[in-house]
Chain A
Amino acid sequence: MSKTMTGAEMVVQALQDQGVTHLFGYPGGAVLPIYDALFHQTKIQHVLVRHEQGAAHAAEGYARSSGKVGCLLVTSGPGATNAVTGLTDALMDSIPVVCITGQVPTHLIGSDAFQECDTVGITRHCTKHNYLVRKIEDLPRILHEAFYIARSGRPGPVVIDIPKDVQFASGTYQPPKNIQHKTYHPQLKGDLGKIKHALAMMAKAKKPVFYTGGGVINAGPAASTLLRELVAQTGFPITSTLMGLGAYPATGKNWLGMLGMHGSYEANNAMHDCDLMIAVGARFDDRITGRLDAFAPYSKKIHIDIDPSSINKNVAVDLAIVGDCAHVLEDMVRLWRSESLSADKKALADWWSQIDRWRARKSFGYRKSDRTIKPQYAVERLYELTKGRKTLITTEVGQHQMWAAQHFHFEEPNRWMTSGGLGTMGYGLPAAIGAQLANRDALVVDIAGEASILMNIQELSTAKQYRCPVKIFILNNEYMGMVRQWQELLHGGRYSSSYSEALPDFVKLAEAYGLKGMRCSNPADLDAAIQEMIDSPEGVVFDCIVDKSENCLPMIPSGKAHNEMILPDTDEDIGNVIDDKGKMLV
């Protein structure tokens, strides 16, 4: 039903028609007409953040935990530039986000007007696509197209920059139809011939491994279900990237744990020694592969991905299947059954016994202490005490993030939100707010570090305003822990600027924001304190004082191969393990 309305009203109408329930934003001169249109409706809840970066991460948290497109609204100039980090984060991690930015009126564009910036120019490199709307006639189409592009194919952020005169202009609104985009048609179905070829390779494999990533999560819950079925059918071991955790349950018997730089010994060794790697929705990131010329040297590689540019980008593969993970996995599960294929059971039994020997190293182990809280122990207890609930975990970036990935175990997709590709400190709190708003029934915990949390601490105010009972679980070691660890390993223990000096009192800080503050430094008190945090109906900032010098292990030193991991019990001086070339790689 086409209807005459203003540009600002079209924005709100289009968001409603696209099923947006929450809009994260911050008003300003160039978006006032849209804010006025929001004032007259109740379908969309506007969530006022305290900084536009928070809006972008909150939209990401919302998107990742719900599978829907996250949406934010910011003003021109600083509003747009503040959102850039969040947009880049969404691009790197393939998160569907639509960001509406205000712009100065069209006749002022290019005049260095107040709060003007070249938003489409600045965001061209950090969005999947962006638009500057010059005419009201284009606005309805662009609004709907933006949602289509954000969620289709490999998802990503889309910016719509709308000058203020276009917001005031009136025109004819068209509701969304089945968009027949003139150029953008991602391939969903995989080539059946190639899928059959892949299955034949799988049936012959003696040391196979599934290597799965965030693409499986992005393909929707059906993809995770199908993946589990395929793993059960084949009996193959499975590992996943940081982004893919939860697609296969951590309690599943074929689970090897996360792989990569801080992945498990069994996962990395299985990757190194495998004769067939089946990569599903993963992109061979440098944190995963380690030294490229020693990456899985004995393997044939199958790569399933919706983005053709991911294939052969870092690692050449033997068989590439372009398609949506869910579609391809569906065909694989169906054909494996209908063609009565079966794995080489004898070889697989040998492979598993090798894997069990690696497993026996217990690479996520650490020295327990009854005097200080070990950060790993804190995550472990948090996991044990939240088991059986619908728990969503977000993180900031650093050691705590890796400990969370290692020691918190995920059974379902969309329960784990972390900044993988960009590694954005300050992601976790706003993302937790977004996730909580999309999942009112869930327990949402941001596992944080004391340095990261300060990057977007202002969002505690947002949590308070919208009654989001998010729990900020700070592993406080008074250091930018990962920086400190690298300085210990590579720079002779010269801790240049990595000590968190002049920290605020987090308990008082929480109280200042009207939230509950807690502190715990004694391992014996930890369980009761965590339980109190969980049971609290309010938002909680939990200052968990942990061992200051704990390193995050195991670790593949940069520039090394998967089978050259440093294990927790390795006595070797780690500083000597990384050569000069490795130091360059960070």
Chain B
Amino acid sequence: MNAQTPAALSPYSSSAGKASRTETHTLSVLVDNEPGVLARVVGLFSGRGYNIESLTVAEVAHAQALSRITIVTTGAPETIEQISHQLERIVPIHKVTDLSLLDGFLQRELAMIKVRGKGEARTEALRLGEAFRARVIDATTESFIFELTGAPKKIDDFVELMRPIGLVEVARTGVAAITRGPQGM
């Protein structure tokens, strides 16, 4: 089955500490919206030394009290497989889907970006905002707040462009993700 998969990294593995193929995966986790469920998920990651790049959670079905957690994690493929299995052991978790193993999925993130500047810098910021289809949601004579939605990369790019112009701060929601096509998870 997994003949080619090398042993997962553990302190007892001779390859521990060496760089291995690191991948970034997006996991969708459907959970009962009950107290402590997020702590169970986060505790699993910290307790077993897994990475969390981004984590978002919100209720998605009020009547059934279901929440959806989207986790972006990095690790060797066998580590990510292990993460999925470990998540499945948590009792109030209904389903774990590794979206990155599926045909296609969309991920979006919302960011609010505060930029400060006058004169030319101000117009430049506005111009770039338009190019990125960012909305201005607050303005003063010396600042803007942009609202930008998109894939994380797009937000990264925009933030980098704003930095020399007068970036003050950024607030990001983290990634929400969903599969393409008619099927649910």
A306 to nearest B CB, angstroms? 11
User: Is B163 an interface residue when CB atoms closer than 8 A count as contact?
Assistant: no
Number of interface residues of B (CB under 8 A): 31
Residues of chain B within 8 A (CB-CB) of A125 are 43, 47
B173 to nearest A CB, angstroms? 26
A293 touching B15, Cβ below 8 Å? yes
A308 touching B36, Cβ below 8 Å? no
User: Is A526 an interface residue when CB atoms closer than 8 A count as contact?
Assistant: no
B115 to nearest A CB, angstroms? 41
B89 touching A312, Cβ below 8 Å? no
Residues of chain B within 8 A (CB-CB) of A286 are 10-12
Residues of chain B within 8 A (CB-CB) of A312 are 2, 5, 7-8, 78, 81-82
A291 to nearest B CB, angstroms? 7
Contact with B along A302-317 (1 / 0, CB 8 A): 0000011101111111
User: Is B140 an interface residue when CB atoms closer than 8 A count as contact?
Assistant: no
A318 touching B1, Cβ below 8 Å? yes
Number of interface residues of A (CB under 8 A): 31
User: Is B147 an interface residue when CB atoms closer than 8 A count as contact?
Assistant: no
A585 touching B12, Cβ below 8 Å? yes
A293 touching B2, Cβ below 8 Å? no
User: Is A183 an interface residue when CB atoms closer than 8 A count as contact?
Assistant: yes
Determine chain B's interface SS by DSSP, over half rule.
Answer: loop
A132 touching B35, Cβ below 8 Å? yes
Contact with A along B77-110 (1 / 0, CB 8 A): 0100110011011011110000000000000000
Bound state CA distance, A35 and B151, in angstroms?
Answer: 58
CB-contacts of B156-182 with A (<8 A): none
A121 touching B91, Cβ below 8 Å? no
Name A316's contact: one of B6, B39, B47, B86 (CB within 8 Å).
Answer: B6
User: Is B14 an interface residue when CB atoms closer than 8 A count as contact?
Assistant: yes
Residues of chain B within 8 A (CB-CB) of A134 are 35
A512 to nearest B CB, angstroms? 42
Residues of chain B within 8 A (CB-CB) of A315 are 7
Residues of A within 8 A of B (CB): 120-121, 124-125, 128-129, 132, 134, 149, 182-184, 286, 289, 291-293, 307-309, 311-320, 585
14 A-B pairs, CB-CB below 8 angstroms?
A124-B39, A286-B11, A292-B10, A292-B12, A307-B89, A309-B85, A309-B86, A312-B2, A314-B7, A314-B13, A316-B2, A316-B5, A317-B2, A318-B1
Sample of 14 further A-B pairs with CB below 8 A, known A128-B89, A292-B14:
A120-B36, A121-B39, A183-B91, A183-B93, A286-B10, A289-B12, A291-B12, A292-B13, A308-B88, A309-B89, A314-B8, A316-B2, A318-B3, A320-B1
